[in-house]
Structure 1
Amino acid sequence: MKTKKIILLTLSFILTVSINAQDFKFGVTGGMNLNSITNNENKIGYNVGVKGEYFFKEDKGLYLDMGIMVTNKNWETPYYYNIEDNSASRWNANPHYLNIPIHIGYMMPLSKKVSVFVNAGPYLGIGLFGKYNMTTGNTNATVANNIFNDYLKRFDYGIGGKIGIEYAKHIQLSVGYDWGLKNLKTNMYPMDYKNRSFEISCTYIF
């Protein structure tokens, strides 16, 4: 129920802004992530979704950047060695989140067609699904079909930022970074697991 309420509130906020704002734009976006959990190894994932931009009337460069994204935040651990049986094991996961960033940004024109922008702010992540696997030698076994049931907390939050370039007021290319602030591990594993994600994305604004 909490997840549904958060999603509905966010959708209502974005819809209200889009209806009332003359300077509201929206588009579709997608790209690639390089993800890790604190102190673990990087893996490649993806992001895809919709976004909106609301430009404040007092300053045409200052704007609110918001979106609803499905984000795959893959990660894996290094190998851990068991001295007793002389074996090595590693764990990997492919959690998918519904990511909701709400950033404040500024866009500055360089020419009639080219502008640069930067934005930063908080994000909320809601765990959807994803498997948790263990690899020992040449054997790969699924530990959990949904990692959010027992191994990771479902809700994530943090701060993020982006910098990019816009062409002809329609095409945007950007790079960004999300810094997770919440320890996602359940009480079953008292380790510090926080999301880290470097992102490259392309957006088309209608």
Structure 2
Amino acid sequence: MALVVTASAQTFQLKVGGGFASQYTDKKLVGSFKAGIGYEYEFDQHWTFNPSLLFVGKGWKDKDQLVPDFGPDGEPKKDENGQIIMSRMGRSVAANYLELPLVINYYLRLGESRYIVLGAGPYVACGLMGKVKTKGDGRRQGAEKLYYEENTFDLQGARRFDAGIQAQVGYQLPKGITVGVEADFGLTRYHADGGRNLSGLVSLTYAFGH
């Protein structure tokens, strides 16, 4: 998270965080994380500019859906009453990005070396890797009926580029430590027909040199 003490005009930071991610649609939550480095430039006693370079894990889980169970002949299986047999399919997606947030922070002093920190700004990200894990897809053949994996950004129509707005609030402690919460609100779609990324994390930032 882009939060840090401002005792000097320029500081380097180590950032980590964990929480949950999903999409704006009816997707379910999955785990999310961030880890990386940041740099903060102080304009005055209240305002700073804080770019970061982070490895970010996002994703989502689809709601289970019923799909036809196909036989080896490629035709849907039917029960004794002639009804098509259905399988319950579940799918989860992990999408890992290299993310660059460009955040402006405002520091509200509470006491000696203690501040409330408010931050917001745009971010851009490039998808690096990830897995789509599918269980119970009766439309597949063989072992893939039970489970199979695909690369998140190799799927047809998948978009590696992500961009949005990051907002955050934190509490700065002495000795260069800030704890806070943050959220990423994606503005671009993962897929032409897909949703936009959404994540929320609890974060810890350590500023070197304090």
TM-score normalised according to structure 1 size: 0.81
User: What 5-or-longer segments of structure 1 have no aligned partner?
Assistant: 1-21
Aligned to 2:155: 150
2:149 equivalent to 1:162: no
Alpha-carbon distance in structure 1 between the residues aligned to 2:30 and 2:122: 23
Alpha-carbon distance in structure 1 between the residues aligned to 2:175 and 2:11: 10
Cα shift at 1:169 = 4.8
1:122-161 equivalences in 2 (<5 Å)? 122-136=122-136, 139-142=146-149, 144=150, 146-151=151-156, 152-161=158-167
Runs of 4+ with deviation above 6 angstroms: none
Distance of aligned partners of 1:55 and 1:103 in 2 relative to their CA distance in 1, 3 Å threshold: same
User: What 5-or-longer segments of structure 2 have no aligned partner?
Assistant: 1-7, 69-83, 138-144
Higher helix share: 1
2:43 equivalent to 1:36: no
User: Are the aligned partners of 2:15 and 2:35 in contact in 1 as well (CA < 8 Å)?
Assistant: yes
1:94-105 equivalences in 2 (<5 Å)? 94-105=94-105
User: Are the aligned partners of 1:65 and 1:119 in contact in 2 as well (CA < 8 Å)?
Assistant: no
TM-score normalised according to structure 2 size: 0.79
Cα shift at 1:114 = 1.1
SS of 2:190 mapped into structure 1: coil
SS of 1:204 mapped into structure 2: strand
Higher strand share: 2
Give 1:198's aligned amino acid.
Answer: G
User: Which protein is bigger by CA-based radius of gyration?
Assistant: 2
SS of 2:189 mapped into structure 1: coil
User: Are the aligned partners of 1:38 and 1:192 in contact in 2 as well (CA < 8 Å)?
Assistant: no
Give 1:41's aligned amino acid.
Answer: K
Aligned to 1:75: 60
SS of 1:148 mapped into structure 2: helix
Aligned to 2:38: 51
- The higher relative CO (CA closer than 8 Å, separation ≥ 6) is in 2
Percent identity, aligned pairs only, is 25
Deviation string, structure 1 residues 175-204 (Cα, Å, up to 9, x no partner):
011110001115xxxx23210001111011
Cα shift at 1:49 = 0.3
Aligned to 1:179: 185
SS of 1:94 mapped into structure 2: strand
